[in-house]
Structure 1
C-alpha cells in the first residue's frame, strides 16, 4: 500500500514538473544577419548608427569575444543550425547544400518541431533554399536582390539585352522608397505578420536579414544618415610576414558592375562602398526595431528570448581587401547579443561578457534553455554565461578556412592572441604560421610568428590550436563541385 502511495506521489510530482517545464519553455527569436562585423554603436563604433540594436544590448548580454567557425556563408550557417563544426560536416564551400551530404543530421528547426514548437524561417537562414524548405512550419525563402534606382534598373536591363549572363548590377543602390521596396523590409513585414498569427503558440523564429551583404542596397533615408566625406579610408597595408594565401582577391565584390577587376579601389569608390555598408546596417537596424516593437505590442516579449547574431565578420577596405573569406580576426569575430525573456526573474541586462563563445554554441544553448534532449554537439551551452556574464569557460575559440582541397588554414584565439597554421591537407606539414596580437583592435599589421620575444606565447597558442586541430588531423571532404 505504501509503495502504491509513494509511486502515485512521484507520478504527480513528475507530471506537474513536466507541465510546469512546458509552460516555461520560452519562445525564441533569432535575428541572423549576413556579413555583419562588430560595426555597431554598442560595440564602440564611432560611425555606425544602430539605436535599436544598441537598445537590445542594454536589455541583455553582449558578447565581446564571439567567433564564427568559418568566414563564409554556407558552412558557417550549417554549423550554427546543426551545432557541428565545418570539419565535422566536411563542407567548406558555398556550393554544397547540407542535405546533399548529410541526410540525418538534426537541425534546430527539426528538434524544435519535434518538441511542439511552430518553426519559422524568414529570409536567408540556411545559405541554400534546398536545405530550408522542409524543416520549418512556416517558410519565407530568401528573395533576390532588388534595385530601385532608375539608373541602375536601366543599366541592368541594358546588360541583359546585350546577352550578358549572370548579370550583377552595381555594388550599391540608393532610392527614395519605403523599406519594403528592398527585401529586408519585406522580411520584417513577414515576421510581424507571422508573430500576429502565432501569438498563442510556442514558436522558434529565424529572421534572416541579408544586409549588409553585397549589394549595399538600402532606402535613401538610411544613406542620408551619413556624410560620405567623413568616412576615413582604411590602411591598405597588409600584415608584414602574412602567408601568401592569407587573403583572397575579393572576387565576390569584383563581380559587381563598375568594380575594377584589378588593383586597389580609388578613394572615392572606397567611400561609396563604406557609405553603402553603413546605410545597410542602419537599414537592418530599423527592421529589427520594428520586429522587437511588435513583440512588445503583442505582449510576447515577456516569454521570448532574443538572439542577435551574424554569420561572420567582414572587411570594408582594411588591408586593401574586401568581404570575408579569411582567418583574420576581422572576419571571424562576430557580434552576438542574447536577451532573455522578461519573465525570467534573474535575467541580466546591460552586461558585457568577455567569455570566449562561438556560433556553434547557439544550438546547444537553446536545447539547454528549453530542456530538450538534443543530439551530439561540437558546441557547448553558454546558458550559464548568459545568466552570469562574468563567468569564463573556454580558453580557446577556433575557426578554419580552406584554400582549395590542398591547403587548410586553422586558427585559434584566446581572446587576445590569434595563431594560425596553414597546413598541407595530405601530408599535414605546416606550410606557414601567423601570430597576431589583438588586444584592443580587430586589425594587426605584423606577423610575430618566429619572433623570439613571443616564443612562449606562440608555443602556448600552438597547444591551444592543437586541442581542436591536432597536427595529424585529416579533414573530412564533402564539398561538391560548382554547378
Structure 2
C-alpha cells in the first residue's frame, strides 16, 4: 500500500511540475502616450521595424480601447482588471493604494503563483503603488535634458521658482540610447533577463516615450525629414459638447510653447517630428529586449504583450495630448504574440474584435493558469488569440470625468462612437455626441439628433446603457491633490 501511495504521490508531483513548466513567462511592453502611429498599423510616416516584426509574430488588434484616456486610471485598470468606475479613480493625482488596499493586482497575483515579478520604468503612474510587491523594481526616472543650453535653462527656471518646472517640449542630443531614460530601462531589462532566465517571470517594461518632452537621441530624429510631415486639419468637431474637447495645458506648460492660441506650422512640424523620433527610439529598445529573449532561448516560453496606456493627438482638431472621450484618444495599439512553443500559436494575423485593456488581467489569468484570481471587469481574449476572426463583444467602453460633477461615458461598436455627458450624481444628460468612424480615427461632425441617424443613435444608446445604467451612481474615490 505504501508503494502505491508513493507512486501516486510521485505521479502527482510530476504532473504538477509539468503544469508549472507549461506556464509561460510574460513580457509586457507598456508604452506611454502611444497611438497606433506604427508601420504595422498602416502609418505612412512612422519607422518602427521591430514592432512591425512583432506584429508579424502574433495577433495585432485593430479595435483595442482603453477605459480612460489618461495615465493613472488607465494603468490601474490594466493592472487590477477593474474599470475606473469600479475603482472610483478618474484623475492622475490619486494613487491606487491610497484608497484600495484590498484590490489584488497582477504583481500580487503572479507572486502568489510562484512567478518572479519585475517592474522596469513606468508601469503604474504612481511608482509607490505596489512598489514593495514586485520581486524586482527599477524606479522610473524623471525627464532629463542633455543639451548644455537646456541644462542651463532648467537651472535658471528652478532658481526663478517656475512651476511646473519644465523645459523645452523636445530635444535631440547626439547621445547613445542610454543617454535618455528609456535606453537605460531597456539595458536594465536586458540585465534582468540574464538574472532570471532560469526562473518563471512576468516582466513589465514601461517605456516613457513618446510622452512629452519628446527627448530622443539625434539619430532617431535623423530618420525623418521634418518637411515631410503634413499639418493635420485644425477643424474641431462641429456640435461637440462644450466640455468634450480637452484643454492641452500639458503641452503649454513647456517652456518653448506659446501659452495662447494655435501653434504655427513650423512648431507643429517640430512637435510631430519629435513624436515620431520618440516612437522610433522606443521601437529600437523593444528590438534590443526581444533580441535578448532570443539569445537566451527564452522566446520559446515567453509570451509578449505590446500595449499603450491611451491614444494621443498630435495636432488633430488643433489639439494635443489625450484627456478626452474621442476615438483618437481611446483607441490604442495592442499586439499579443504567444510563446513559440505554444501549440495553437497564431502569427501574422489581425483582429477586428472589440477588446479592451481591462481584458489583459483575465487573459493572463487564463493563459498562465493563475490560481485564486479575483473576479475582474474584463474577459479573457484567449479565444480571439487562437482564432482572430472570432465574433466578440458588441461594444467597448470608456469614461472621462470633467471634475467631480460631470462624467462623460462613451461606447463604440467599431464604426460609431456614442457619448453622453451626464451629471455625476443625478445622471441628467448634459450633452450627447454621435460620431462616425468607419474609415477614420477622426470625425468632424456631431450627428446626434439628426433624423437620418436616429436608428444608429438609438442602438448606440442602448449599448451605452448596458455598461452605464442611469440607476447606478458613479463611485468617487478621487482624493484632493497632495
Structure 2-normalised TM-score?
0.97
Contact 1:426 1:474 in 2 (8 A): yes
Give, in whole Å, the separation in 2 of the partners of 1:163 and 1:441: 44
Q: Say if 2:391 is the partner of 1:396.
A: no
Q: Which runs of 5+ in 2 are unaligned?
A: none
The answer as to 2:411 corresponding to 1:412 is yes
Give yes or no for contact 1:329–1:418 (8 Å, CA) kept in 2: yes
On the 8 A contact 2:396/2:412 being kept in 1, the answer is yes
TM-superposition CA deviations, 1:48-103 (whole Å, max 9, x none): 00000000000000000000000000000000000000000000000000000000
Deviations 1:97-126 (A, max 9, x none): 000000010000001011111000000000
What is the alpha-carbon distance in structure 1 between the residues aligned to residue 405 and residue 189 of structure 2?
43
Aligned-partner Cα distance in 2 for 1:439–1:231: 24
> How many Å apart are 1:384 and its aligned residue?
1.1
Work out whether residues 425 and 474 of structure 2, in 8 Å CA contact, stay in contact via their aligned partners in 1. no
- For 2:461, the equivalent position in structure 1 comes to 462
Match of 1:154 among 140, 152, 155: 152
- Aligned twin of 1:112: 110
Instruction: Give the match's secondary structure for 2:172.
Output: strand
Q: How far, CA to CA, are the matches of 2:220 and 2:60 in structure 1? A: 25
Establish whether residue 94 from structure 1 lines up as the match of residue 53 from structure 2.
no
2:34–2:308: 8 Å Cα contact kept in structure 1? Answer: yes
Once the two structures are TM-superposed, the CA of residue 156 in structure 1 deviates from its matched residue by 1.2
Deviation, structure 1 residue 471? 2.1
CA distance in 2, matches of 1:424, 1:5: 70
CA distance in 1, matches of 2:393, 2:6: 44
Tell me which moved more, 10-19 or 440-449: 10-19
- Say which SS state the counterpart of residue 268 (structure 1) adopts: helix
- Sort the Cα spacing of 1:437 and 1:161 in 2 relative to 1 into closer, same or farther, 3 A: same
- Corresponding position of 1:181: 179
**Correspondence for 2:470:** 471
Pairs aligned (count): 481
The 8 Å contact of residues 27 and 204 in structure 1, kept in 2 or not, is answered as yes
Determine the structure 2 residue equivalent to 1:382: 381
Deviates more, 1:155-164 or 1:32-41: 155-164
Q: Secondary structure at the match of 1:55?
A: helix
User: d(CA) in 1 for partners of 2:391 and 2:196?
Assistant: 37
1:288-322 deviation per Cα after TM superposition (whole angstroms, max 9, x unaligned) = 00000000000000000000000000000000100
Distance 2:325 2:165 in 1: 30
Shift of residue 16 of structure 1? Answer: 4.1
Q: Distance in 1 between matches of 2:438 and 2:208?
A: 30
CA distance in 1, matches of 2:197, 2:14: 24
Distance in structure 1 (CA, Å) of the matches to 2:164 and 2:427 = 38
Q: Quick check: 40-49 or 126-135, which moved more?
A: 126-135
Residue ranges of structure 1 left out of the alignment (5+ in a row) = none
Tell me the equivalent position of 1:291. 289
Q: Tell me how far 1:6 sits from its aligned partner.
A: 10
Do the aligned partners of residues 13 and 452 (structure 1) sit closer, same or farther apart at CA in structure 2, a change above 3 Å counting? farther
Match of 1:127 in 2: 125
1:20 shift after superposition: 1.6
Q: CA RMSD in A?
A: 1.5
Q: Does the CA-based 8 Å contact 1:356-1:392 persist in structure 2?
A: no
Q: Matched residue of 1:309: which SS?
A: strand
Q: Whole-Å Cα distance in 2 between the matches of residues 466 and 27 of structure 1?
A: 38
The 5-angstrom pairing of residues 17-56 of structure 1 reads 17-56=15-54
Structure 2 counterpart SS, 1:465? helix
